[in-house]
Amino acid sequence: MQALIHHFIDNQWMASRGDRRLAVTDPCRETVIAEVTAGAPSDVDAAVAAARRALPAWRALGGAARGAYLDAFADALGARRDELEVLSCRNNGKPRAEAAQDLDDAIACYRHYAGEARALDERQGEPVATGEAGLISRRYQDPAGVAGLITPWNFPLVSSAWKLAPALAAGCTVVFKPSEVTPLPEQALAEIALAIELPPGVFNLVHGDGQGVGAPLTAHPGIDKLSFTGSNPVGEAVMAAAARGTRNVSLELGGKSPILVTEDADLDLATELVLAGFCYNAGQMCSATSRLLVHEPVAEALLDRLDAAIGELVPGDPLQAATTLGPLVNAAQRDRVASYLALAEAEGLQGMTPAISLPEQGHFVAPRVFRDVSTDSRLWREEIFGPVLCARAVRDDEEAVALANDSDFGLAATVVAGDPVRAAALASRLTAGNVWCNTHQVAPPGLGAGGMKGSGIGRELGRAGLDAYLETRYVTHPA
């Protein structure tokens, strides 16, 4: 059993000052595979101090050199592909094919921001029109400073890449807290930083939970920028902590995203996209399209196809190639989803009977589809984070859009329509940061990702993801 009781600070492995230990589990085998330190505030102090010492030199290094280090991160991740995929399967429970896609996405993200780092050099001092005769101005972008990065457990290596790559490209130094639930894949980032000879203090990894590390990190006065992905209650606490000192903050929070299917849609495609929208990663994703709004003429046909498609899923060991549905990440998450299924029963919701057989061992939950769910139901309005879909038949596009936007969240949406012009028109009316039309939920690093309303503040990926770690300075003088 592996013991993750050391933090990576200033390019050294330092024993945690905290004496609490947390179990790290395999959600398929229900076994403890490691223990991780819960951390301590003094560990955070040491990591922040190292990052602050490293900041001037890393900032002065220039985008070209920083880009070379990011390319080295990508190379190293690719070289450790088999090991990291297995770690994600064992620690997170996701099927091997999904773990492989995650790794590809992470590598692409480091590659993208390697290029953005180089381009940042070229953009420094670009002229800006002042609109004033006799004055010229130039724009410069400087790193925000020391960044505190906190990631969730559902997409290890991916969520960290979305934060770490742009932060390093911008010239920030970082203190990174991965989820204590899935620390094993993220541990590799510290090992890679050491192997590629990243300058000491540029990247610091502190293991721990919210009490030992999370809260002290968000409240630390030496942190200039906070970036958090996770639940809304914790996000609100992070935002409150950032208010002290008026620090820069980015939040990627929850979702309760809709998927709209029109009467002219290709039902084979619709079935594929609906299924993936609430079953990929066993439904444990903020962007899960877990509210189905389908036009009445095709509602029954689509739901019947969906029932059959669920029956073709293969739950099982994530390391087996045939597996298409893994377990939930731990017993607590399984119990959370089970509580919503019990609520559905209490509310008298009509649910399809799952047509698949689950393994006897592991934190598995069979996908469930509930029909004609009231918009007042907690299942319709709250993020469940499991393979649960709520469906409603709608009369027309107007009703579909109105119900889709009637949510406290605005993270994502999908539109499936036979007419691509109609699909685009529907997408333009949806209150969501990302809308996919007739395609899966793809998130190339060149695009932005993030939400509206209760789904967060700011954007990750793309140029916006880099700008999140930059401060802009204008220098104006006579022509």
Rg of the chain taking only CA atoms, in angstroms: 23
DSSP string, 203-249: EEE----IIIIIHHHHH-TT--EEEEES-HHHHHHHHHHHHTTT-EE
Helix axes 158-170, 183-195, angle to 10 degrees: 30
Q: How far is CA 430 from CA 221, 242, 398, 436, 454, in A?
A: 39, 30, 11, 11, 15
Which SS3 state, helix, strand or coil, does residue 32 take?
strand
Q: Which amino acid is at 40?
A: A
| 270/263 Cα distance (integer angstroms) | 11
- The active-site residue out of 85, 98, 116, 252 is 252
Q: Which two tokens stand for residue 72?
A: 């080295």
In this structure, are residues 219 and 243 in contact, taking their beta carbons and an 8 Å threshold?
no
* 169: enclosing H helix or E strand: helix 158-170
Q: Is 252 a catalytic residue?
A: yes
Dihedral sign, Cα of residue 87, residue 330, residue 210, residue 2: negative
Q: Residue 376: which residues within 8 A CB-CB, separation 6 or more? A: none
In this structure, are residues 222 and 52 in contact, taking their beta carbons and an 8 Å threshold?
yes
| 238/227 Cα distance (integer angstroms) | 9
Residue 138, φ and ψ in degrees, nearest 5:
-130, 145
* 369: enclosing H helix or E strand: strand 368-371
Which SS3 state, helix, strand or coil, does residue 450 take?
coil
In this structure, are residues 70 and 114 in contact, taking their beta carbons and an 8 Å threshold?
yes
| 325/315 Cα distance (integer angstroms) | 4
| 211/99 Cα distance (integer angstroms) | 29
Residue among 202, 169, 193, 192 at smallest CA distance from 66: 169
For the purposes of burial, counting CB atoms within 10 Å of the CB of 244, is it exposed (0-12), middle (13-18) or buried (19 or more)? Answer: exposed
Residue among 283, 286, 299, 300 at smallest CA distance from 341: 283
**Residues recognised as catalytic:** 252
